[in-house]
Amino acid sequence: MARVAGGDDGGGGADGDRPFPPGEYPILVVGSGPGGLQTSYCLRRLGVEHAVISRDDRPGGMFRWYPVFQRLLSWTQLDAPFERGSREFEWYDHNSLLGDEREHQALICDVLDRSHVVPTRQQMEDGLAAFAERTPLRVRYGCSWESTRRENGRLVLTTSDGEYRCRAAVFALGVTEPWRSPIPGIDQVPHYADCRHGEDYAGKSVFIIGKRNSAFELADGLLPWASRIVLASPRPVETSNFAQASVRARYLQPYEVSVLGGGTYAVDAAIERIERDADGFRISASGTTRPGRIEMRADAAIAATGFTTPLRDQPQLGVAAVAQGRIPALTPFWRSVSAEDIYFAGNATQGAAGLRKHGVGSSSPAVHGFRYNARVLAEHLARDLFGIERERRRFEPAQLVPFLLHELAHAPELWAQKGYLARAVRFEPAQGIVDAGVVPLAHFVDAGGPEAIAVAVEMDTRGQIYPAAYRWRGGRLRGVELAGELLHRFQDAEHARVLTELLDDVVR
Amino acid sequence: MIDPDSLARLALFADLSRAELEAAGQLFDEQMYETGERILRQGLTGNAFYVLLDGCVAIKIDGTERARLFPGDFFGEVSILTGEPPTADVVAMNAIRCAVLGEPDVEGFLIRNPRVMLRMLQAEARRVRSANLWHG
Ligand SMILES: Cc1cc2nc3c(=O)[nH]c(=O)nc-3n(C[C@H](O)[C@H](O)[C@H](O)COP(=O)(O)OP(=O)(O)OC[C@H]3O[C@@H](n4cnc5c(N)ncnc54)[C@H](O)[C@@H]3O)c2cc1C
């Protein structure tokens, strides 16, 4: 079924300029946010024919609207120790999608100015649009997926334009549909997604339900306007280890005000009830970390209780979801644990938790994490469904340890997805030492061999970064945690010695 | 994040108030595994505390099954308390669902919720007792 696309990607022409009319495609990608765009790009580079549909009218996904206060939390450094467009530079640029050619790389840098290391929402949207336009990616916009079924071994997606049949679908739907926790009265409370302007809250006392990023982003944006801000949720704000903090540093200003100043409160409380009346809201809550009762009024209330994946009828098809049904439960290669032909890309890839060694989660909810998942997924689909294998680099024994150390020191995949993605090398009797590419670490450690090594960058409970290696040898797996280094210089004699020892049968 | 009602059903959390259950619901994650997937790996990783919500897991040492756990049972705590890698594989025998607490959060959670700690200790005591009986 595989066809080499040779730059163009099937479909097109049937109704005006809109590509991919309803019909049969090997793979269907749904969504034109960064997750869908990156997946389509990577599939195309591998020559996997596919169609892309989106209900939007242009590329960018949720960045066409959010964040509400118009600035992201992920950074891009315009200058770095590596040249723009190099693979190593990607680690300094968390917002560009991945391209193989220079004109498709580091595109956010072209729209960013030096006023802030974090792009505005508009700059992010422009950067994504530039990627879609220059590569160029073809998407059938204005096409909404409505329902799903299986027929004769094919997945059938009914859309506003008609039916699409495919062997497998990749859903890059985002985790951006408003979700409210089940608190009595919360349906009367506007969601984060309903907020627009700070001036709407001028001089008001505002009650925000939630104490994670979106709640603190709102509080940060409302600080110049509101007279009082109370943020409340049962779980305490955790900031002792930045790597695992429940709020990103960029939005911590209101937290500092709550600790050192006045007028802003971050309260650990379970909200029992919220009632709307003519004057605003009446809230009843009960303290969690410290006992106590809250009975208070606020002029305005906002539910910053998070987002959900718009799975539509997938649960009826057997797609299981976690986190109160908000996130699809996924295998290490981002397939639904309970549906063979349904894959996910983008933000929803957080549904594959990985090893979570030392409790460290993945970066899959953000662009700099899931852009790599997309590339690994595309290679996996190309290989497993269509038998398309990328040309693999072979190593001389003497090249192996320096290669692995370079990866540990600089590979953006390993640094972005700590303890989650790994660089693997196989040792094959016929082929010798072969680069096996970037793989999910959870897959590598459970695959049961063959003879291979994988290296990953990991982090311990105190946020200390160290390199790790996993070696399959004679059907047994050995994991080694190497020492960290103050400036993360892993390409030194000591690290080389440990890897050489682990590979003594291969490199000597 | 996990639905507090999923936790409320379990003996381990039976003493928690509604507010405490809701705080726990925000702290624990929910994970699902397919039949045959490993959740803990002998000698390798661990570093999380798991409470089984649905399904059944097998405890395997060097590939030999030693025990099975069922909804309400928990695992992974020994590795966290001792700071050592797990001494057994824990493998899903069917589709399973667990509540998961990462290593960094375990100590704080137990200290804030001593009744959960007590119930854990009681369960550990029962395990030691049945292991002693088993070995004569
Ligand atoms: C408030 C907020 C702020 C964030 N800030 C950042 C940040 O600063 N940096 C960062 O890296 N990440 C951030 N994120 C995470 C962010 O969601 C992702 O980085 C990114 O937008 C996810 O990309 P995606 O492609 O998975 O989903 P989205 O961008 O949400 O795109 C989903 C796509 O699927 C389409 N779709 C959905 N349902 C259907 C359907 N039924 N039929 C057809 N098409 C459909 C949508 O129209 C859209 O095109 C933030 C998230 C939120 C909620």
Residue A476: phi and psi, rounded to 5, are -120, 145
Q: Which of A304, A337, A370 delimits the end of a domain? A: A304
Residues facing A18 on adjacent strands: A15
List the domains of chain B with CATH numbers: 4-135 (2.60.120.10)
Q: What is the DSSP string of A325-372?
A: TTEE-B-TTSBBTT-TTEEE-GGGGGGS----GGG---STTSHHHHHH
* No. of helices (H) and no. of strands (E), chain B: 5, 8
Does A162 lie in the same domain as A24?
yes
Please indicate if any CB of chain A lies within 8 Å of the CB of B47.
yes
pLDDT at A13: 46
Residues facing A269 on adjacent strands: A287
pLDDT at A450: 87
Q: Contact A359/B102, CB-based, under 8 Å? A: yes
Best probe residue, ligand 1, of A53, A62, A64 (max atoms within 8 Å of C-beta)? A62
* pLDDT tens figures, A190-240: 999 999 899 999 999 999 999 999 999 999 999 999 999 999 999 889 887
Please indicate if any CB of chain A lies within 8 Å of the CB of B111.
no
* pLDDT tens figures, A291-339: 899 999 999 999 999 999 999 999 999 999 999 999 999 999 999 999 9
* Total residue length of chain B: 136
- CA dist B30 and A155 (Å) reads 28
Q: Is the CB of A311 inside a 6 Å radius of any atom of ligand 1?
A: no
C-alpha radius of gyration, chain A, whole number: 24
Does A311 lie in the same domain as A286?
no
Which residue range(s) make up the domain with A326?
1-59+139-177+306-386
Does A144 lie in the same domain as A110?
no
Residue with tokens 């968390």: A94
What value does the mean pLDDT of chain A take? 94
* pLDDT tens figures, A134-188: 999 999 999 999 999 999 999 999 999 999 999 999 999 999 999 999 999 999 9
pTM: 0.94
Which of A271, A446, A458, A481 has the highest number of chain B CBs within 10 A, making it the mutation to test binding with B?
A446
Query: Atom 5 (ligand 1): residue with closest C-alpha?
Result: A72
Does A254 lie in the same domain as A356?
no
Please indicate if any CB of chain B lies within 8 Å of the CB of A284.
no
Does A147 lie in the same domain as A17?
yes
pLDDT at A16: 67
Which of A209, A309, A358 has the highest number of chain B CBs within 10 A, making it the mutation to test binding with B?
A358
pLDDT at A9: 43
Extract the residue ranges of chain B whose pLDDT is less than 50: none
pLDDT at A295: 96
Ligand 1 centroid vs A178 CA: distance in angstroms?
12
Does A111 lie in the same domain as A217?
no
Q: Which of A386, A405, A432 delimits the end of a domain? A: A386
Query: Atom 27 (ligand 1): residue with closest C-alpha?
Result: A174
* pLDDT tens figures, A422-470: 999 999 988 899 999 999 999 999 988 789 999 999 998 888 999 999 9
Q: Contact A359/B48, CB-based, under 8 Å? A: yes
Does A284 lie in the same domain as A191?
yes
Does A310 lie in the same domain as A300?
no
- CA dist A233 and A180 (Å) reads 13
Does A280 lie in the same domain as A216?
yes
CA atoms within a 13 Å half-sphere pointing along the CA-CB vector of A376: 30
Does A6 lie in the same domain as A151?
yes
Does A485 lie in the same domain as A398?
yes
CATH number of the domain encompassing residue A261: 3.50.50.60
* Pairing between β-strand A205-209 and β-strand A228-233 as defined by DSSP bridges: parallel
How far, CA to CA in Å, does A295 sit from each of A272, A275, A306, A322?
10, 11, 24, 33
Q: Which of A304, A331, A357 delimits the end of a domain? A: A304
Q: Contact B45/A357, CB-based, under 8 Å? A: yes
CB contacts of B20 in chain A (<8 Å) are: 288
Domain count, chain A: 4
Angle formed by the axes of helices A397-410 and A493-502, nearest 10°: 120
Does A462 lie in the same domain as A319?
no
Minimal Cα–Cα distance from A420 to chain B, Å? 13
